[in-house]
């Protein structure tokens, strides 16, 4: 009898105990008018491998709650049988539907009129919606509709506080409200709406404190550091990076510590503190080397790893006058950033172009920016990317005013860039 590690990993990622999963499955079944009889012992049998193929309704509930197929959760049908082929989307999308069509992302929350207590199933449902927003952002970047949807998710998490719930569930709901609000802040930031983003972040920090959630707290401080960098408030970026490093999750998980050090490094480079920037970058590299790649973490931090650290290192090196090192780091980033992070690949390509331009390689820099437009074709450029393109254009006309490559770049891309505004 072999233990079901896939289910155990899914439980750990969701932050659920055996009792809480049993409660969530029973609550899900009751919401469908079925009787729920799953106990802690039932879940233990699933985890130890004693039960290799739960009942049909239990399988449906597990898929809906954990967002994975039963096979991905480590269950195997008896010999000679196959799992039924599904013709519909996972059931959890009935009550928390995420649709991404064109420029819109719509989340339809569960009705506010409820006949049962708020529980773990509600927490999982909201978390699934948050993961869907993260996936959409990774593809096309922040935009106003995504910001509104994130705020709606935060509102629902807070509205559920009015129902009967355990203290643990209430804290998780506050944590989800904090993460949804932080996602709204990130969307506003990526759309270059810094004042609105700051208001969301201050609200998210309050909610993270109510949740006593160190991961949500880290998420907010990380975004505070990014916002300060965007506003060129570099001392504040260093302070926010240090606050992120002081959170419990950064002390416990080297990956979070690495990300906080990387943000701090960019802040030091903006101040002009080359030694401090390179020291923080070194700490980021050392911490990331110690991070367990298979450790369960929230979906919003999936963007960070060696590829993203190379991209951030390129920014640090470019700001400290090492354009050659910046170009090399950008190439390493682009060779490793996953294809689904389209916006991140476009930003890394734009940073590559900046590093090439700062080496006076005008032709190659202009050719690199062409790839930025190609990567983002079909979507409006996020405000942050448009601003960076503006920086590139200003540097271009400063270094090579009136030259052929500059005129060609303006002829080919100024209209496309302007239309994206």
Instruction: Write the DSSP assignment of 200-213 as a string of letters.
Output: HHHHHHHHHHHHT-
pLDDT for 387 beyond 90: no
Q: What are phi and psi of 313, to 5 degrees?
A: -65, -35
Q: Which residues pair with 105 in a beta bridge?
A: 100
Q: Which fold has domain 5-78?
A: 434 Repressor (Amino-terminal Domain) (1.10.260)
Mean pLDDT over 364-378 rounds to: 88
| Residue in 389, 262, 362, 239 with CA at minimum distance from that of residue 314 | 262
- Residue pair 395/357 in contact by the 8 Å Cβ criterion: yes
The residue among 129, 137, 154, 146 whose CA lies nearest residue 216 is 154
When pLDDT is cut at 50, 70 and 90, the band that residue 178 belongs to is: very high
Return the minimum-mean-pLDDT range out of 212-221, 319-328, 377-386: 377-386
Q: How far is 206 from 174, CA to CA, in rounded Å?
A: 9
Mean pLDDT for 30-56 is: 84
pLDDT digits (tens, 9 = 90+) for 206-237: 999 999 999 999 999 999 999 999 999 999 99
Alpha carbon distance 22, 41 (integer Å): 9
Distance of CA 107 to the CA centre of its chain: 17
Judged by DSSP in three states, 368 sits in helix
Contact 343, 372 (CB under 8 A): no
Do 316-421 and 5-78 have the same topology in CATH?
A: no
CA separation for the pair 350, 313 (Å, rounded): 14
pLDDT of 132 > 70? The answer is yes
Question: What average pLDDT does the segment 146-159 reach?
Answer: 90
Which residues, 6 or more positions from 180, have their beta carbon under 8 angstroms from its beta carbon? 126, 130, 133, 150, 151, 153, 154, 157
Domain residue ranges of the chain, discontinuous segments joined by +: 5-78, 316-421
Per-residue pLDDT band for 327 (boundaries 50, 70, 90) equals very high
Query: Among candidates 159, 10, 28, which has minimal Cα distance to 91?
Result: 28
Whether the pLDDT of residue 160 is over 50: the answer is yes
> pLDDT for 278-304, tens place per residue?
999 999 999 999 998 778 888 889 889
Check if CATH label 3.30.70 holds for domain 316-421: no
What value does the mean pLDDT take over residues 84-93?
A: 40
CA atoms within 13 A on the CB side of 82: 3
CB 316 within 8 A of CB 337: no
More confident residue, 215 or 169: 215
> Which of 244-258, 378-392, 407-421 is most confident?
244-258
Give me the sign of the Cα torsion angle 379, 221, 291, 46. Answer: negative
- Band of the pLDDT at 167, cuts 50, 70, 90? confident
What is the per-residue pLDDT for 115?
Answer: 39
Query: Vertex 168, ends 162 and 170: CA angle to 5°?
Result: 20
């Amino acid at each position: 009898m072999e233990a079901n590690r896939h289910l155990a990993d899914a439980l750990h990622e969701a932050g659920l105990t055996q009792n809480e999963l049993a409660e969530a499955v029973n609550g899900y079944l009751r919401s469908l008018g079925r009787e729920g009889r799953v106990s802690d012992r039932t879940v233990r049998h699933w985890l130890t491998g004693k039960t290799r193929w739960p009942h049909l309704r239990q399988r449906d509930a597990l898929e809906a709650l954990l967002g994975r197929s039963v096979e991905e959760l480590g269950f195997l049908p008896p010999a000679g049988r196959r799992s039924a082929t599904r013709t519909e989307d996972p059931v959890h999308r009935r009550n928390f539907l995420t649709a991404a069509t064109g420029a819109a992302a719509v989340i339809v929350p569960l009705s506010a009129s409820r006949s049962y207590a708020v529980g773990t199933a509600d927490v999982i449902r909201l978390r699934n919606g948050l993961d869907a927003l993260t996936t959409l952002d990774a593809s096309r970047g922040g935009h106003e509709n995504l910001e509104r949807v994130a705020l709606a998710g935060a509102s629902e998490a807070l509205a559920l506080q009015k129902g009967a719930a355990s203290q643990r569930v209430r804290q998780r709901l506050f944590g989800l409200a904090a993460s949804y609000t932080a996602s709204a802040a990130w969307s506003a930031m990526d759309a270059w709406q810094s004042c609105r983003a700051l208001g969301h972040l201050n609200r998210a920090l309050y909610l993270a404190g109510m949740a006593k959630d160190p991961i949500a707290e880290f998420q907010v401080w990380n975004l505070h550091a990014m916002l300060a960098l965007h506003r060129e408030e570099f001392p504040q970026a260093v302070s926010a990076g240090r606050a992120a490093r002081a959170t419990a999750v950064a002390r416990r998980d080297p990956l979070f510590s690495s990300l906080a050090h990387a943000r701090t490094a960019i802040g030091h480079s903006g101040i002009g503190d080359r030694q401090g920037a390179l020291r923080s970058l070194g700490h980021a590299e050392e911490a990331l080397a110690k991070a367990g790649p298979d450790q369960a973490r929230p979906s919003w931090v999936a963007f960070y790893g060696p590829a993203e650290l190379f991209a951030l290192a390129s920014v640090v090196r470019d700001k400290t006058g090492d354009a050659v090192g910046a170009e090399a780091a950008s190439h390493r980033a682009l060779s490793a950033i996953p294809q689904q992070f389209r916006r991140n690949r476009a930003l890394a390509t734009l940073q590559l172009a900046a590093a090439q331009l700062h080496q006076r390689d005008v032709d190659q820099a202009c050719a690199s920016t062409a790839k930025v437009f190609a990567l983002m074709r079909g979507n409006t450029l996020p405000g942050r990317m448009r601003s960076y393109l503006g920086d590139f254009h200003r540097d271009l006309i400063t270094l090579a005013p009136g030259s052929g490559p500059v005129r060609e770049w303006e002829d080919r891309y100024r209209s496309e860039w302007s239309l994206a505004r």
